[in-house]
Amino acid sequence: MSTVTADFLNNTQEQPGVRSPLVLGRHDNTTVTERICQIAESPKPPRAWYIAISISSSFTLMLFGLIGYLVTTGVGVWGNNAPVFWAWDIVNFVFWVGIGHAGTLISAILFLFRQHWRTSINRFAEAMTIFAVVCAGIFPSVHVGRVWVIYWLLPVPNQNAIWPNFRSPLLWDVFAVSTYATVSLLFWYMGMIPDIATFRDRATSRWRQVVYGVLSLGWTGSARQWHRYEKAYLLLAALATPLVLSVHTVVSFDFAVSQVPGWHTTIFPPYFVAGAVFSGFAMVVTLMVPARAFFGLKELVTLRHLENMNKIILVTGSMVGYAYAMEFFTAWYSGNRYEQFAFINRAFGPYAWAYWTMVTCNVISPQLFWFKKVRTTPWMMVIVCIFVNIGMWFERFVITVTSLSRDFLPSSWGYYKPTFVDIGMFVGSFGLFFTLFLLFCRFLPIVAMAEVKSVMPANHANEDH
Amino acid sequence: MTATIAPKEKHHASHPVVDESPLLAAVIAEFPSAGAVLTAAKTIRQAGWTDWDVHSPFPIHGIDDVMGIRPTRLPWITLGAGAMGITVALLMQWWMNGVDYPFWISGKPFFGLPAAAPVAFELMILFAALSTIAGMLLLNGLPRFSNPLFSSEGFRRATSDRFFICISARDPMFDREVALKAFSDCHATAIDECWAPPASERKFPKALSLALMVLFTLALIPPVLIAQKRSTTTTEPRLHAISDMDFQPKFKPQRTSTLFADGRAMRPQVSGTVARGDLRADSRLFKGLEPGPKVHRTLALLQTAPATPPVARLVSAEGGPRDVAERLVALADPPPADPLDSQPWVTSFPVPVTSKTMKRGQERYNIYCATCHGLAGDGDGLVTRRALELEQGTWIKPTTFHSDNLRAQPVGRLFHSITNGVRKMPSYADLVSVEDRWAIILYVKALQQARHADAKDIPSDLIPQLRDLPKE
């Protein structure tokens, strides 16, 4: 490796027989700790952070204002109306839940497959999961209309002496998403305990000592603690893996178990899961590229990490494209007139513009990742990934809205148009997402220090002593 | 960084200690790398120490074997909790949807494994994950906020970049000097002592426990109130935190209102308007009467005619059929100058008379009228027969359609009878549409005519078929 920075930071070249290093630069335990802790410890965050958070928090305020308006007025403030009773609320829900899946995939599935490169990005991706699930949860919660009786969704005794209907996929979804949120949150938190302990032990002010002290639960990093911790981590990864697959499967059941043409297909579960991973990785890359530049993490989150993620995007993007084609084939092969109509209507009906936006963004744009140049150039990959995210939002829009707007009864066909509340809440959910993210970057360890240290070559060479 | 921060210069380490003085809890040694601490750990274990541990910023590969840490029970906890999650989920769904509140939905069984699987799966994961984390923390003795190890300034780097071995004072062979010696033999880069605060300081703060008790008591009030409400009955409407649609501001029939000058909440029809579906200008079709203003008034009066009270009395009368018959005679006593006889009834059908109408009439007649009037109109329908069999005092045999009176009645009057009811027979206007009523009357007319027809009236090509009819 030459000393030129560009080359030095490029670990994407395959050298036969040699494992590419996961951490670049002359890093040891001390410098890794320093590099990551300084982000949260510097007395004042950079000016850009202030600008960013003031923008995102004003969008968040707008979101909560609109939620207040909706709750006090009713869901009629949205554009949803007969026959399109599910629109942006459900689209946004599925969009955000899907984004969350990349975090769990990186932290759990890649862990089980012993993909050590995950260590420098998993914390980041897990945080993204949590915040995405928070954003996702808002939409179905307020779309029930009377939010104050939302506990009717749960099997708790209520004054009507009625229990929820366990034969409905919507209830399965309540269980799936709330389990997912709980487990992801705990998994994320548990993963952070050792790093928060690091923050606690480096704390110089009293409040940091107390807050991080409480959050780290008295962790001392003893070998016995580590032993159980690692076992728990493995078990959680093994639990989270089927969980993440089940969540989007159940989300797809919301559609697939119904009779609506265009929804009632068995391809939905795998197709939804692939789409979720696809959009989630695109989101991680979109956020990671600026963050690593901004926080000086280029040696920890290397180009190789980004390239690996882009490869996953390429694979899942191709799966999604295959699913689109397969849906058409199934519709034709089924011989079912309604199913066939639903798909012809998707591609050539009043929402054709949405359909072709989706195809362009989801099927064509990720194919650019066949070129190594695109895969390893940060600005290029960010552009592709933003397209993927747009495309994945449109995918959910196309599925939800086109199918509902024209189903069995032509007399009740309609054309859905969003209102300013729909648009404002969607934009506002991005505000919330980024606000949480910026707070996370400022106050919590954004890279799993303990895990990164455990994959550093220096900490392994010593074993031979 | 050797033993420099021993607090308060009180070194009663290995001796019995007075309550008020800090207690030596452990001695710790610092090492620069994972390799170094691994080597040292081997030595410490060989020296026979039992209550000791290694602290490192990340899990050191191979340390378990060196220290002799036995595999944790955690997986069993996970397994048990997962199994419990499935059981709880299945029992819950079976009991809630199958037993306590069963209701049909899309023809699905109240409880079935396929539909119960997703929730069972999610609860398995949830239970397993929660108890894995809780189990890990509890087995690790966490949360533990007061730890003598934290009294050492140097130990803070255990979570960043230094590696420590700590020998606890609880080790049966613990002796300060011996432990320190053992560490320096291992080439520790620094040695320190960790002190536990005196017992008096370790007590739970009184104010805090008081506050917690008060909070706990306050927290009990809502559930107690709820339990009380749920277990008692009251005639008052239920308490709803948010009343939603319990109380809807609206005017009820026959109430007063200050909104209108006449003080009535119910509004009379605005003059000159017709309510939707109420436009019945075609008198022939809707009333069976030839048009004319006088007629309408008379009929309107008839609607409230005194025909009803005697019938009401009849219905409530007790006693056998004879009794009723007597009353009927009594009713008929003042010779009836029936106002209906003098109305301008239509005599021709206001609807097209086709075989299609006839078929429709036959069908409707068999559905709506035959039960009482009999299939041929003799007043011997199944309901009538049964009622007479039971000697139902209140039952009146329907008039036969073949009496001279009824044969002579114009079609308009027959229409009036089914539209508004006649004496004991109720109105069929709600059940049978206007067109169908006319169709039925067409069929009744056909029935009447059939009784008085002879072979001439039958198309010649149908006569052979008649012979094939079974003879009664």
What DSSP element (H or E) covers B191? strand B190-196
How many whole angstroms separate alpha carbon B160 and alpha carbon A37? 10
Domain CATH for A407: 1.20.1630
* Cβ-nearest to B159 among A166, A221, A232: A221
Q: How far apart are CA B222 and CA B228, in angstroms?
A: 10
Q: Are residues B45 and B189 in the same domain?
A: yes
C-alpha dihedral sign at B412, B418, B423, B427: negative
Residue A388 pLDDT level (bands cut at 50, 70, 90): very high
Give contacts of B25 with chain A, Cβ < 8 Å.
none
Assess whether B66 and B187 both reside in one domain.
yes
The mean pLDDT of chain A is: 86
Structure confidence by residue, pLDDT tens digits, A183-198: 999 989 998 999 898 8
Same domain, B184 and B288: no
Is residue A351 within 8 A of residue A84, CB to CB? The reply is: no
Instruction: Taking each helix axis as running N to C, give the angle between helix A352-359 and helix A337-348, from 0 to 180 degrees, rounded to the nearest 10.
Output: 80
Binned at pLDDT 50, 70 and 90, residue A2 comes out as: very low
Could you tell me which residues come within 8 angstroms of residue B77 by beta carbon, excluding any fewer than 6 positions away?
B131, B132, B135
Kindly state whether residues B197 and B56 are assigned to the same domain.
Answer: yes
Does residue B191 contact residue B184 with C-beta atoms inside 8 Å?
yes
Contacts of A165 in chain B (CB under 8 A): 97, 103, 105
A320 has pLDDT over 60: yes
Which residue is associated with the tokens 């004054």?
Answer: A159
Q: Is residue B237 part of a domain?
A: no
Q: What angle do CA A311, A315, A320 make, to 5 degrees?
A: 140
Chain A residues whose CB is inside 8 A of the B160 CB are 29-30, 33, 198, 201-202
Q: How far is CA B11 from the centre of its chain?
A: 71
* B62 and B195 co-located in one domain: yes
Closest C-alpha to B13, from B171, B133, B147: B171
Listed range (A441-455, B148-162, B315-329) with the worst mean pLDDT:
B315-329
Asked whether residue A341 is assigned to any structural domain, the reply reads: yes
| Percentage of chain B modeled with pLDDT above 90 | 28
Non-local (6+) Cβ contacts of A260 within 8 A are A403, A404, A407
CA–CA dist B392, B109 (Å, integer): 45
Q: For residue A23, which of A292, A304, A299 has the smallest C-alpha distance?
A: A299
Q: What is the CATH number of the domain that holds B423?
A: 1.10.760.10
pLDDT of residue B419: 92
Q: Do A465 and B75 touch (CB under 8 A)?
A: no
Nearest to B412 by CA among B361, B466, B469, B340: B340
Inside any domain, residue A237: yes
- The pLDDT tens digits for B86-122 are 999 999 999 999 999 988 888 888 998 999 999 999 9
Q: Which residues of B touch A226 (CB under 8 A)?
A: 56, 58-60, 63
Q: Which domain holds residue B122?
A: 19-206
What value does the mean pLDDT take over residues B290-302?
A: 58
In a domain, residue A211? The reply is: yes
In terms of Cβ atoms closer than 10 Å to its own Cβ (0-12, 13-18, 19+), residue B30 is buried
Q: What digits encode the pLDDT tens for the residues B198-255?
A: 766 667 778 888 999 999 999 999 999 888 887 888 888 766 777 777 777 888 888 9
What does the radius of gyration of chain A's CA atoms come to, in whole angstroms? 23
Please give, rounded to a whole number of angstroms, the shortest distance from the CA of A441 to a CA of chain B.
Answer: 19
Res. B380: pLDDT tops 80:
yes
Tokens of A258: 């119904």
Asked whether A60 and A433 are in contact (CB, 8 A), the reply is no
Using CA atoms, how far apart are residues B318 and B132, in angstroms rounded to an integer? 79
Element (H, E) at B12: none
At B317 the pLDDT is 39
The predicted structure's pLDDT at residue B427: 92
Domain span at residue A267?
95-148+162-415
Residue B245 lies in a domain: no
Query: CB B125 to CB A454 under 8 A?
Result: no
3 state SS of B163: strand
pLDDT digits (tens, 9 = 90+) for A365-384: 999 999 999 998 999 999 99
Residue A239 forms part of a structural domain: yes
Is pLDDT at A130 greater than 80 in this prediction?
Answer: yes
Query: Could B105 and A167 be called an inter-chain contact, meaning their C-beta atoms sit closer than 8 Å?
Result: yes
Task: Answer left, alpha or beta for residue B238, where phi above 0 means left and psi between -120 and 50 means alpha.
Answer: beta
Q: Which residues of B touch A194 (CB under 8 A)?
A: 57-58, 159
**Residue B297: what pLDDT?**
47
Lowest mean pLDDT among A140-154, A249-263, B303-317: B303-317
Last residue of a domain, one of B183, B206, B229: B206
Note the pLDDT tens digit of each residue in A401-439.
999 998 888 888 989 999 999 999 999 999 999 999 999
Of the two residues B236 and B427, the one the predictor is more confident about is B427
Asked if the model's pLDDT at residue B327 lies above 60, the reply is no
Provide the whole-model pTM: 0.70
Q: Where are the alpha helices (DSSP H) in A295-407?
A: 303-334, 337-348, 352-359, 372-376, 378-397, 403-405
In a domain, A67, yes or no: no
Whether residues B59 and A450 touch (CB distance < 8 A) is answered with yes
State the average pLDDT over residues A82-107.
Answer: 88
pLDDT given for residue B470 in this prediction: 59
Handedness of CA B310, B312, B315, B316 (dihedral sign): negative
Residue B319 burial (CB count, 10 A):
11
Domain's final residue, options B176, B206, B236: B206
pLDDT of residue A25: 62
Q: Is residue B212 part of a domain?
A: no
Rg of chain B in Å (alpha carbons) = 50
Q: Tell me, yes or no, whether A268 lies in a domain.
A: yes
Instruction: Estimate to the nearest angstrom the gap between the alpha carbon of A333 and the chain centroid.
Output: 34
- Which chain A residue's Cα is nearest to B95? A163
What confidence category does residue B471 fall into, taking pLDDT thresholds of 50, 70 and 90?
A: low
The answer as to whether B14 is a domain residue is no
Number of domains within chain B: 2
pLDDT at B127: 95
Confidence of residue B32 (pLDDT cuts 50, 70, 90): confident
Domain boundary pick from B152, B187, B206:
B206
Closest Cα of chain B to A74: distance in Å? 12
Determine the pLDDT at residue A11. Answer: 65
Q: Taking the C-alpha atoms of A95, A96, A101 and A106 in order, what is their torsion angle to the nearest 10 degrees?
A: 120
* pLDDT > 90: percent of chain A: 43
Contact assignment for B161 to A33 by CB distance below 8 Å: yes
Interface test with B, best of A189, A224, A244 (most B CBs within 10 A): A224
- Render pLDDT for A39-93 as a digit per residue (tens, 0 to 9): 777 778 888 889 999 999 999 999 999 999 999 888 889 998 888 999 899 999 9
Of residues A165, A218, A236, nearest to B105 (C-beta): A165
Domain assignment of residue A409, yes or no: yes
Find the mean pLDDT for residues B69-81. Answer: 91
Count of the separate structural domains present in chain A: 1
